[in-house]
Structure 1
Amino acid sequence: MDSNAFAYSWLKAITYNGHALLRHLSWKLTSLGGTKGRQIRVICLADTHSQRCDIPYGELLIHAGDLSLNGSATEIQETIDWLKSLPHKHKVVVAGNSDRFFDARSRLPEDMSTIGLSSGREESKNLRSQLEMPFDWGEIHYLQGTSVTLDCSRVSSTVPKYVNIYGAPFVPECGPDTENAFQYPVSHNPWAGKIPESTDILVTHTPPKFHRDWYCGSPEGCPWLLQELWKVRPLLHVFGHVHTSYGTERVVWNDAQSRWEEFCSGVQELLSQNEHPITLAGILRPKLWLDAAMVMLCGLQNLLTIVIAPRRPGWQSTLMVNAACMSDDGQLGKAPHTIIL
């Protein structure tokens, strides 16, 4: 382990756990006594890579990308057929970087030949306009930078519940374009103004930065996506891509959350410098320590506000779900998430 990582791993652990605890207590207290309206059972999965797993029943099934292992049209259709056979009333799918057929830059040679084109990069660029994909989706909603509004009312109810879902497959650059679909340079922002403010559920393949995106101590999510989440603040955000960060996280959009992300940025900057010897300058970083302290102070202040104030603050929150089912051994060792909205 790098000396900086060793020196600050304990500070990050304390700050993370303290922030998580205060956030959890604040959210629970804010939610006390709230009236429960209509509930929707949402099943979330991602990164199945041409494998199958047991899927619980729900009103809405979401697959957040990497349906296939190698990205061929044949593999993708096989996964589509599996999803079509499931009994869920509504199904929403986005592609991932492994689903190469959907992006002309990464399409396999055998799939090029089926439509009479070579796999040359110049000709591939012109395929972006070819939206007639040879898939039988049935009633599945495939989203690629698009939205769908679903009626998720229960059969016994007379009041419909409409859910607005926006989905997109784009991921920060993680390899050659010829091997990974929908990539963009980390310096490029493909998300600005793209997610409608009316979005209730956001489905992307990439995580946002600093949220269920840690891989070997490094955050692999997209900072531009995180910027948009601060604006849109959907009820639910489902993604995958980073297999090691499977799980859920309740994000409350307040000052404590902002301070936490600032602290994470400082830790990332520190680790990127690779200072192998532990120096005094490396240890005494006042801003990093201040950020850690402010995470805790803001969290405590928010908790006290809820306890003392006669009216609870109306903070918005998003449930982040990394639904990657793939384990390190290449098998689907993690179950789909069942979320009640």
Structure 2
Amino acid sequence: MMQLLTEHLSSRRTARHTLNTADIPSKLTASRATVYLQYDEVPPHPGDCWTRFVCISDTHSHKYVVPPGDVLLHSGDLCSYGALDTLTPTMEWLMTLSHPMKIIIAGNHDLCLDEKFRKGGGYDSSFDTLPAEDIDSARALVRSEAVRAAGIHYLEHESFQFTTQSGRRWKVFGSPSAPRYAIGSFQYDRRAQAEEIYNQIPADTEILLTHTPPYMVLDRTKRGKHAGCEYLEDRLAQLSSCRLHVFGHIHEAYGAAISEEPAEKGEVDIQRVSVNAALAWGGQPVIVDIMN
């Protein structure tokens, strides 16, 4: 039943890949943000005036050593090949992590979380789909009482607000979608579909989780193509409150960038951290410290 789907998703992972870490800076700094990409020891927390976000993505049912922080952000591809039995170990692992707040989304590998893959749901008649009970179980799992008790919040085209232990309240939006590539979950084909998805992002969103990168931001494939979403790039230009955007999907484009634009007179300059946190090729969890 899952064979055709898993063959398509696994075809990109038959060869082992590793990042060229020589091209990745160990640290990025700005006036109100610090990013750590390569580290032997976890840098000290900068204090109560800052929030430490630990960013990961594309873990594909593998477990990683994750440094502590105030907030864990996971930008999708929780599963290896989309079956329920590859989601469960990931959720069990995430529940063991010490972060008081953990916010997660799905990605294109997380078939069991996408209603379109429900058997009889009319996805694509040329491909098998998943049993309805697997879809129900997966979607119940990520929103279960046990998962919530562990501080995990699953977002699917929705907003969420939380307050850190230091008292800072953050506004988050999460979306699992990405442009169509082969057979995968939560994908869209047309710009109109992307507009419908990303226009849901509230204007005052401060932390954004998407599975796809925006176009031209940490989205270059090993073949040199920019694979990010063009409409997401346009939408981000309208989100002046967004301080941190975390994504993954393009494994080889792991990294981070800090952009800063001058604000109107009398206002604070717009400073945004963008993180491709895909761990599949060997990157470390990205630590992002943001001034409250």
TM score, norm. by length of structure 2: 0.72
C-alpha contact (below 8 Å) 1:153/1:162 kept by paired residues: no
Alignment of 1:330-341 (within 5 A): 333-341=282-290
Q: CA separation in 1, counterparts of 2:243 and 2:175? A: 17
Q: For 2:187, give the aligned amino acid.
A: Q
Cα distance, 1:325 vs. partner?
0.2
Tell me, what secondary structure is at the counterpart of 2:55? strand
Identify the residue that residue 81 of structure 1 maps to in structure 2: 92
Cα distance, 1:97 vs. partner?
0.2
Q: CA separation in 2, counterparts of 1:249 and 1:312? A: 26
The answer to whether 1:321 aligns with 2:275 is yes
Alignment of 1:173-192 (within 5 A): 173-176=180-183, 180-188=184-192, 189=194, 190-192=196-198
Identify the residue that residue 237 of structure 1 maps to in structure 2: 245
CA RMSD, Structure 1 to Structure 2 (Å): 2.8
Q: For 1:148, give the aligned amino acid.
A: F
| Matching residue within 214, 220, 225 for 1:218 | 225
C-alpha contact (below 8 Å) 2:157/2:197 kept by paired residues: no
Q: For 2:114, give the aligned amino acid.
A: D
Aligned pair count? Answer: 231
The answer to whether 1:209 aligns with 2:215 is yes
Identify the residue that residue 4 of structure 2 maps to in structure 1: none
Alignment of 1:66-105 (within 5 A): 66-105=77-116
Relative to total residues, which structure has the larger helix share, 1 or 2? Answer: 1
The answer to whether 1:148 aligns with 2:183 is no
C-alpha contact (below 8 Å) 1:251/1:319 kept by paired residues: yes
TM score, norm. by length of structure 1: 0.62
Cα distance, 1:227 vs. partner?
1.1
Which of structures 1 and 2 has the bigger CA Rg? 1
Shift of the 149–181 alpha-carbon distance from structure 1 to 2, 3 Å rule, reads same
Q: For 2:244, give the aligned amino acid.
A: L
Shift of the 102–174 alpha-carbon distance from structure 1 to 2, 3 Å rule, reads same
C-alpha contact (below 8 Å) 1:42/1:62 kept by paired residues: yes
Tell me, what secondary structure is at the counterpart of 1:196? coil
Cα distance, 1:193 vs. partner?
2.5
Q: CA separation in 2, counterparts of 1:210 and 1:334? A: 20
Q: For 1:334, give the aligned amino acid.
A: G
Cα distance, 1:75 vs. partner?
1.4
Kindly, what percent of the aligned residue pairs are identical? 30
C-alpha contact (below 8 Å) 1:191/1:225 kept by paired residues: no
Q: For 1:199, give the aligned amino acid.
A: T
Cα distance, 1:74 vs. partner?
2.0
Structure 1: 5+ residue stretches without partners: 1-23, 113-117, 155-159, 256-310, 328-332
Q: CA separation in 2, counterparts of 1:253 and 1:198? A: 17
